[in-house]
Amino acid sequence: MIKTDFSEVKDLFLVYPEGFDKVHSQLTGFYKKLLGVIPQEIHLFIIVNNEKAGIKIKSHYPNKNIDIIPIPNFNEIWLRDIMGFNTGENRIYKPIYSPDYCKYIYTAGYLEIVNRQLKEIIEKSTKAEIIELPIVLDGGNLITNGEIGFITDKIYNDNKELGKNVKSIIRNYLGIEPIIIKSNKNDKLSHTDGYMAFLNKKKICISQYPEIAFLKDDNKYLEAIRQETAKHSLETIKIYDRPVAEKVIGGGNAENDKSKDCLSSARGIYINFLRLNDTIILPEYSIPGYKKAIEYNTINKQALTNLGYKVITINCDEIARLGGSLRCITFTN
């Protein structure tokens, strides 16, 4: 059975991007802070692309249980999208990773290299069996409770030749019933983990946006998601998100692309949190020119604390400006 975000976590995969390209190497300070708040009982697999970075992070956290995975020339931070789906039985189902965004980065040659590197990562860590899942699907576009899984209809655009067969492929390989929901027309990424997060089999967090003009269509979209989850007798928990209207420079077809087809920033998206057993690591953000930012940085923490979780917060502005947040950059075992 496919693992869920609320399944027991023993291992956490992260990168340490010192030595990555210019954009990602600037995130080393953020990653050091994140590693500092990971619970001590969690074993860490840290992926680096050079020996110096591995030595540095182990010396910075001598009391943490860390194994370094050296992968020469590795340059990816979005582990959730590329690593596949874990079964908890030392088996990973690996879909085809072929993004239709950031095309200047995700060339055929680059994707071939990443696929080879991922197999090397698994071989140097858990040695899990890798099963090729014959559909194009980013890991961020599947939220599951182990029985059903929410996926946006971007999966049809990414697998036109398969048509409706994508649902039977998911059933047969992952053992869950896929629930296909519409994509948000304002969201190029179209990942369900930007709107939803299961807490257990019956409780699901869904984003709640403020009533602001530029978010009018997004609020209609979120209401449609709530109606869909109600059909499956799920109890919904509101997570108060406050998206920032900014684009990811380079999130389109060219390095400096700023067009409407670029990815949107993830600043203000709190629902993309990291669940590690009874601990939730929750994003914090600065919201430019918004006086109520402090309320958003406390209201979600309080709501999740009231549900019995230990909640740790960390500022995620740097990573969110690149189009993702905490769940996006992690993979659990």
How does pLDDT run across 248-284, given as a tens digit for each residue? 988 988 888 878 889 999 999 999 999 999 999 999 9
Residue 1 lies in a domain: no
Residue 239 lies in a domain: yes
How does pLDDT run across 5-21, given as a tens digit for each residue? 999 999 999 999 999 99
Answer whether 85's CB lies under 8 Å from 146's CB.
Answer: no
What pLDDT score was predicted for residue 67?
Answer: 98
With a cut of 70, say whether residue 195 has pLDDT above it: yes
With a cut of 80, say whether residue 228 has pLDDT above it: yes
Q: What is the mean pLDDT of residues 289-307?
A: 87
The CATH number for 279's domain is: 3.75.10.10
What is the share, in percent, of the chain residues with pLDDT greater than 70?
99
> Across the chain, how many H-helices and E-strands are there?
10, 16
Q: What's the domain count of the chain?
A: 1
Residue 6 lies in a domain: no
Answer whether 165's CB lies under 8 Å from 156's CB.
Answer: no
- By DSSP bridging, strand 66-70 and strand 43-48 are parallel
In angstroms, rounded to a whole number, what is the distance separating the alpha carbons of residues 207 and 226?
9
Other CB atoms within a 10 A radius of the CB of residue 144 amount to: 24
User: pTM for this one?
Assistant: 0.96
Answer whether 196's CB lies under 8 Å from 108's CB.
Answer: no
Domain of residue 221 covers 11-332
Query: pLDDT averaged over the chain?
Result: 95
With a cut of 70, say whether residue 285 has pLDDT above it: yes
- To the nearest 10 degrees (0 to 180), the angle between helices 51-60 and 28-37 is 40
What pLDDT score was predicted for residue 291?
Answer: 67
Secondary structure letter of residue 317 according to DSSP: H
Residue 41 lies in a domain: yes
- Token pair 């209201």 is at which residue? 299
Residue 131 lies in a domain: yes
Residue 110 lies in a domain: yes
Answer whether 239's CB lies under 8 Å from 270's CB.
Answer: yes
What is the token pair recorded at 72?
């020469």
Answer whether 204's CB lies under 8 Å from 238's CB.
Answer: no
Question: In which band, very low, low, confident or very high, does the pLDDT at 301 lie, cut at 50, 70 and 90?
Answer: very high
What pLDDT score was predicted for residue 250?
Answer: 87
